[in-house]
A and B are shown apart, each in its own frame.
Chain A
Amino acid sequence: MSGPGMVPLGQRINFWIEDALGAVVHSPVGSRLRRWGVTGKALVTSVPYLWLLLFFLVPFAIVLKISFSDAQIAMPPYQPLISWVSEQVLEIKLNFGNFAFLVEDNLYWKAYLNSILVAGVSTLLCLLIGYPMAYAMARSSASVRNMLLLLVILPFWTSFLLRVYAWIGILKNNGLINNALLALGVIDQPIQMLQTDFAVYVGIVYSYLPFMILPLYANLEKMDLTLLEAAADLGCRPWEAFVKVTLPLSIPGIIAGCLLVFIPAVGEFVIPALLGDPGMLMIGKVLWTEFFNNRDWPVASAVAIALLLFLVIPIMFFQRAQDVESGAVHR
């Protein structure tokens, strides 16, 4: 195919890039940028940096601001914090009423505590189900291991909403479980499972289980198995070796998995909305209701800030673990 005059495609692209880069670097614009200290690295870093500042950090400042303002019936439904009373007098009205409201009203306390309870128990259940699975996967042969890994990741790629929806069909009064039990004669009345706390636990454990398995598997897979042999040589029984060697070594995986499940589960909205009792108090649902149904943006903002304050510590733990995991901690 390629005659003597033909340059392979890769090399041609190579030349194009070289030409284009050379043109930029040697142009007056390029040298001026360099004089200002603008380097390629700075450009690469600044683009995502600016994006994240504008669309991730600044919004929190705005939520904080609006959590201190009064509600009003208008668009947008909140009053400005800072306003000019006259030419010279600038008025700043900080309204702590929204937070006082959260503290006084039992409903919010119950919702926070209940969310933490539900998320905590679900995390524990995920760990109890996920650890044996991750362990069994990590100790399988290499070819089986990759297949199982793919099977864990696959549900990720199918719609979360539809996977939660699937449980409605399984748990409802004339659903799969009740029909099966009735047909077998185990029960003669359908058991109410949908719209109970049980259904919410099932939904959360089911949806977040892969988030638990993946970090655990990554950790257990790279464990040095000769340590177990050494333990056995020194007279450790298998279960003793597991408790004394495997379990302590897998703690980073356990922490990462638990945080990946716990933090988003605290603010979960879809699962309690679809599977739970309509009266069930979860903070994500409360925030949603304040915002969409009551159109009280300042209270919704205060709920969000309070939730964020609670989650800051676990989130920082998570980031620390993430940094250690990626080997990128600079001392």
Chain B
Amino acid sequence: MNQNRSWFRVLALVLGFAFLYVPIVSLVVFSFNESRLVTVWGGFSTKWYGALLNNQQIIGAALLSLKIAAIAASIAVVLGTLTGMALARFGPFRGRTLLSGLATAPLVMPEVITGLSLLLLFVTLEQLIGWPEGRGMATIIIAHVTFAMAFVTVVVQSRLAQFDESLEEAAQDLGARPAKVFFLVTLPIIFPALLSGWLLAFTLSLDDLVIASFVAGPGSSTLPMVVFSKVRLGVSPDINALATILITIVAIGVAIAGVVMSRQQKIRDRDAQMALAANQQMIESLKKG
């Protein structure tokens, strides 16, 4: 390849990734800063971590956010998998276009619109049937499921489109019912997609400020809501400490997911090789006999 062009490619990557990562690195570095002035270095200190852990408001909000994210992600994975199955495997059916539209629109819908419309729905429902009584954790979970399931649907649908339908057909030919095919053949194959879908839904929920602000009631402030009201007043080092903790958790989670997935891939590759080898042996023995 041309020397000039590879030089250009390296430059594009270095500058691009520097742009993506310098702000994140700066968050982490200044979380260990002695000085309150965040961006002026005053010596190494971990005191902001102590301040953070003593901040009951932030700890309470973090626990609420984690609970909401775990529940919302689990429901979103179930609904997103069902949607992905319907879109990728059921062929054309009545209402398919509408379903695919409803399933992908939340991906790009501005959050202020989603948040406002869901709040108005909850208010109307409360007037009509008395549920939900006020707003809080339940309404935030419903809102998060609704936009997170779109991401799970896309992940599951693209995974299903990648793998060979003949595996499922083979199981069906051997007499398995559709539901059994799903649990014993499809589900194990798309499991990595479900795992990454769950993690994606979890982080999206944990991260959401705008939608939660609309549908949360008094007394149910999530972590982003507390952080937002704090950083609106300016930088504060304990928020840097919080960011560092979150980044560390994400890094560990991604590393674990990566190891699990590569191990599964190895098992699948080995199984495929064994199947091929067995096939070869059978052919050989048939030739001899």
Closest to B92 in A: A330
Closest to B101 in A: A319
Count of inter-chain pairs, beta carbons less than 8 A: 270
Q: Which one of A14, A55, A287, A314 lies within 8 Å of B146 (CB-CB)?
A: A55
Q: Across the interface, do A206 and B19 meet the contact criterion of CB distance under 8 Å?
A: yes
Which residues on the B side are within 8 Å of A263 (C-beta)? 108-110
How distant is B248 from chain A, measured CB to nearest CB, in Å?
A: 10
Q: Across the interface, do A318 and B117 meet the contact criterion of CB distance under 8 Å?
A: no
Which residues on the A side are within 8 Å of B21 (C-beta)? 151, 155
Is B113 among interface residues, defined by CB-CB distance under 8 A? Answer: yes
Interface size on A, residues (CB 8 A): 97
Is A100 among interface residues, defined by CB-CB distance under 8 A? Answer: no
- A169–B128 Cα gap in the complex (Å)? 48
How distant is B265 from chain A, measured CB to nearest CB, in Å?
A: 12
Q: Across the interface, do A326 and B161 meet the contact criterion of CB distance under 8 Å?
A: yes
Is A229 among interface residues, defined by CB-CB distance under 8 A? Answer: no
Is B276 among interface residues, defined by CB-CB distance under 8 A? Answer: no
Q: Which one of A17, A21, A154, A304 lies within 8 Å of B250 (CB-CB)?
A: A154
- A308–B184 Cα gap in the complex (Å)? 43
Interface size on B, residues (CB 8 A): 100
Q: Across the interface, do B86 and A319 meet the contact criterion of CB distance under 8 Å?
A: no
Q: Across the interface, do B120 and A66 meet the contact criterion of CB distance under 8 Å?
A: yes
Which one of A1-9, A39-47, A245-253 is at the interface? A39-47
Is A193 among interface residues, defined by CB-CB distance under 8 A? Answer: no
Q: Across the interface, do A319 and B117 meet the contact criterion of CB distance under 8 Å?
A: no
Is B23 among interface residues, defined by CB-CB distance under 8 A? Answer: yes
How distant is B189 from chain A, measured CB to nearest CB, in Å?
A: 14
Q: Across the interface, do A291 and B116 meet the contact criterion of CB distance under 8 Å?
A: yes
Is B61 among interface residues, defined by CB-CB distance under 8 A? Answer: no
- A238–B199 Cα gap in the complex (Å)? 41
Q: Across the interface, do B117 and A41 meet the contact criterion of CB distance under 8 Å?
A: no
What is the 8 Å Cβ interface bit string for chain B, positions 6-21, against chain A (1 contact, 0 not)? 0011101100110111
- A146–B213 Cα gap in the complex (Å)? 37
Is B83 among interface residues, defined by CB-CB distance under 8 A? Answer: yes
Closest to A155 in B: B20
How distant is B243 from chain A, measured CB to nearest CB, in Å?
A: 4
Q: Which one of B100, B116, B235, B246 lies within 8 Å of A172 (CB-CB)?
A: B235
Which residues on the B side are within 8 Å of A311 (C-beta)? 110
Which residues of B from 9 to 44 have beta carbons under 8 Å from A?
Answer: 9-10, 12-13, 16-17, 19-24, 26-27, 30, 37-40
- Mostly, the A contact residues are helix
Is B123 among interface residues, defined by CB-CB distance under 8 A? Answer: yes
Q: Across the interface, do A44 and B103 meet the contact criterion of CB distance under 8 Å?
A: no
Q: Which one of B9, B88, B109, B214 lies within 8 Å of A328 (CB-CB)?
A: B88
Which residues of A from 113 to 129 have beta carbons under 8 Å from B?
Answer: 129
Is B288 among interface residues, defined by CB-CB distance under 8 A? Answer: no
Which residues on the B side are within 8 Å of A264 (C-beta)? 108-111
- A267–B113 Cα gap in the complex (Å)? 8
Is B142 among interface residues, defined by CB-CB distance under 8 A? Answer: yes
Which residues on the A side are within 8 Å of B287 (C-beta)? none
- A102–B122 Cα gap in the complex (Å)? 26
Q: Across the interface, do A165 and B239 meet the contact criterion of CB distance under 8 Å?
A: yes
How distant is A303 from chain B, measured CB to nearest CB, in Å?
A: 9
Q: Across the interface, do A17 and B184 meet the contact criterion of CB distance under 8 Å?
A: yes
Q: Across the interface, do A59 and B121 meet the contact criterion of CB distance under 8 Å?
A: yes
How distant is B12 from chain A, measured CB to nearest CB, in Å?
A: 4
What is the 8 Å Cβ interface bit string for chain A, positions 253-296, against chain B (1 contact, 0 not)? 00000011001101111100110000000001001100110000
Q: Which one of A45, A148, A172 lies within 8 Å of B82 (CB-CB)?
A: A45
Is B218 among interface residues, defined by CB-CB distance under 8 A? Answer: no
- A284–B38 Cα gap in the complex (Å)? 29
Query: Which positions in B face A, CB cutoff 8 Å?
Result: 2, 5, 8-10, 12-13, 16-17, 19-24, 26-27, 30, 37-40, 79-80, 82-83, 85-88, 90-93, 95-96, 99-113, 116-118, 120-121, 123-124, 127, 142-143, 145-146, 149, 154, 157-158, 161, 177-180, 183-184, 199-200, 203, 206-207, 209-210, 213-214, 224, 227-228, 231-232, 234-235, 239, 242-243, 246-247, 250-251, 253-254, 258
In the A-B complex, the 8 residue pairs with the closest CB atoms? A267-B110, A59-B117, A132-B12, A166-B23, A136-B9, A133-B16, A52-B102, A263-B108
Q: Can you report 24 A-B residue pairs in the complex whose CB atoms are below 8 A from each other?
A: A45-B86, A49-B95, A52-B146, A63-B120, A135-B9, A136-B12, A139-B9, A148-B13, A155-B24, A158-B250, A159-B206, A162-B227, A170-B23, A174-B40, A179-B40, A267-B110, A268-B110, A274-B232, A284-B110, A287-B116, A300-B116, A307-B113, A315-B109, A326-B87
Query: Which positions in A face B, CB cutoff 8 Å?
Result: 14, 17-18, 21, 25, 40-41, 44-45, 47-49, 51-60, 62-63, 66, 76, 129-130, 132-133, 135-137, 139-140, 148, 150-152, 154-163, 165-170, 172, 174-176, 179, 206, 209-210, 238, 259-260, 263-264, 266-270, 273-274, 284, 287-288, 291-292, 297, 300-301, 304, 307-308, 311, 314-315, 318-319, 322-323, 326-328, 330
